[in-house]
Amino acid sequence: MNNLNHVRDQFKALTQTVNGKPLVYLDSAATSLKPQVVVDRITQFYSYETANVHRGAHFLADQGTMNFESARTTVKNFLNASSTEEIIFTKGTTDGINMVAECYGMNFLKENDEIVLTELEHHANLVPWQNLAQKKNLKIKYISVQPNGELDLSNLDQIITTKTKLVAFSGCSNILGTFIPVDIIIKKAQSVNAVTLMDAAQVVAQKPINVQALGVDFLVFSAHKLFGPFGFGVLFGRKELLEKMPPYQFGGNMISEVNYDKTTYNNLPYKFEAGTPHVEGAIGTEAAIRFFLGLGYNQIFEHEQDLLNYGTTSLQSIPEIKIFGEAKDKAPIISFNLTGAHHSDVGQILDKQGIAVRVGHHCTQPLLKKFGLTGTVRASFSIYNTREDVDKLVEGIIKAKRMLL
How many angstroms separate the CA atoms of 190 and 40, rounded? 43
Within 13 Å and on the Cβ side, how many CA atoms surround 307? Answer: 25
For residue 83, the tally of other CB atoms under 10 A from its CB is 11
How many angstroms separate the CA atoms of 314 and 394, rounded? 7
Active-site choice (363, 394, 398, 404): 363
Rg (CA), the chain: 22
Among residues 245, 249, 199, the alpha carbon closest in space to that of 85 is found at: 245
Please say if 363 is a catalytic residue. yes
How many angstroms separate the CA atoms of 36 and 9, rounded? 9
**157: which residues sit within 8 A by CB, 6+ positions away?**
188
**164: which residues sit within 8 A by CB, 6+ positions away?**
113, 114, 115, 116, 141, 189, 192, 194
Q: Under a CB-based contact definition with an 8 Å cutoff, are residues 27 and 332 in contact?
A: no
How many angstroms separate the CA atoms of 99 and 97, rounded? 5
Identify residue 169 by its one-letter amino acid code: F
Classify burial at 273, counting beta carbons within 10 Å of its beta carbon; exposed 0-12, middle 13-18, buried 19 or more: buried
Q: Read out DSSP for 223-285? A: GGGGT--TT-EEEEE-HHHHHHSPPSS-SSSSEEEE-SS-EEEPPTTGGG--SS--HHHHHHH
Q: Catalytic positions, please?
A: 363
